[in-house]
Amino acid sequence: MKLLPIPAAGQTPVRVLTIAGTDSGGGAGIQADTRTMALCGVHALVAVAAVTVQNSVGVSGFHEIPPRIVADQVRSVAGDIGVGAAKTGMLASTAIIEAVAEVCREVGIGRAGSIPLVVDPVAASMHGDPLLHEEALDAVRHTLIPLATVVTPNLDEVRLITGIDVTDDASARRAAEALHTLGAQWSIVKGGHLRSSDVSTDLLFDGDTFLEYTAPRLATGNDHGGGDTLAAAIACALANGYTVPDAVEFAKEWTRRCLEASYDLGAGHGPVSPLWRLTHS
């Protein structure tokens, strides 16, 4: 695959900002984002929105960072360091979503500004543990998604946000249209959780054209952090000047390689791993 350029020693890399939650198990959330960013040759900037207590078996609790502190982290790095692209992950509450949306508009992140924004509307962990208060779904729909250059829900998140149960190609198209109608410039409906098929097809839609990305399904229980990795890789490619369709193609292949390199960790689900990049020239 064509990889993103690794900067020479001493050369300042492009910067990508993640606004998301931490994972004490090191597999998903901010830890997945920064692993992928580093191995894509990108300098990771971090605004912590929540601290989760989790391991390979599940999420047993989380602590929300005060919304003003989340927004101040974004403001602080955007002003001094500069952001090439940004992504959001776990934002937990309406108050945090509103604070993030406001600061993004202020510093030019999102579709109304010049800095592309990937919105991963994280709602629950793969174990079914909630990472977003139910009352915050309206803010995801009407405050967060309208800022998105690209929105990347999985099928559970699609159902929560649009009410559409994706079971086949036609319902996937309806869901992509519904997400676009909410205000995302591009919407992706990820087929990875559609277990009935032996391929995984992601559908990308810009309000006009549907693009399909198909890859063989990989049978692994170690896919913790897969969604974060895809969204982070899209942001890295956008920061390197890729178009959205090219960024999605890159990210899909990146994530497939990370799934192939996933490993056992703890008693539950192990993480996808970008560490394959260290031995790949």
Could you list the residues that contact ligand PLP (CB under 6 A)? 20-21, 23, 28-29, 52, 54, 89-90, 122, 125-126, 131, 224-228
| 108 versus 130: smaller Cβ distance to ligand PLP | 130
Nearest-approach distance from CB 2 to ligand PLP, in angstroms? 26
Minimal distance, residue 271 CB to ligand PLP, in Å? 8
Residue 53: CB partners within 8 Å, gap ≥ 6? 24, 59, 60, 61, 62
Residue placing its CB nearer to ligand PLP in the complex, 98 or 129: 129
Nearest approach in angstroms of CB 101 to ligand PLP is 18
CA atoms of 87 and 229, how far apart (whole Å) = 11
Least CB distance from residue 163 to ligand PLP, whole Å? 21
Q: Which is nearer to ligand PLP, 84 or 227 (CB)?
A: 227
Q: Give the end-to-end CA distance of the chain in Å, rounded to a whole number.
A: 11
Q: Looking at beta carbons only, is 94 or 125 nearer to ligand PLP?
A: 125
Nearest to 88 by CA among 125, 47, 51, 124: 47
The CB density around residue 138, as the number of other CB atoms within 10 Å, is 12
- The DSSP annotation for 23-71 comes to ETTSSSHHHHHHHHHHHTT-EEEEEEEEEEEE-SS-EEEEEEPPHHHHH
CB of 239 to ligand PLP, least distance (A): 20
Shortest-Cβ-distance residue relative to ligand PLP: 29
Q: Spell out the residues 6+ positions from residue 170 whose beta carbon is closer than 8 angstroms to its own.
A: none
Which residue number, 3 or 265, has a Cβ lying nearer to ligand PLP? 265
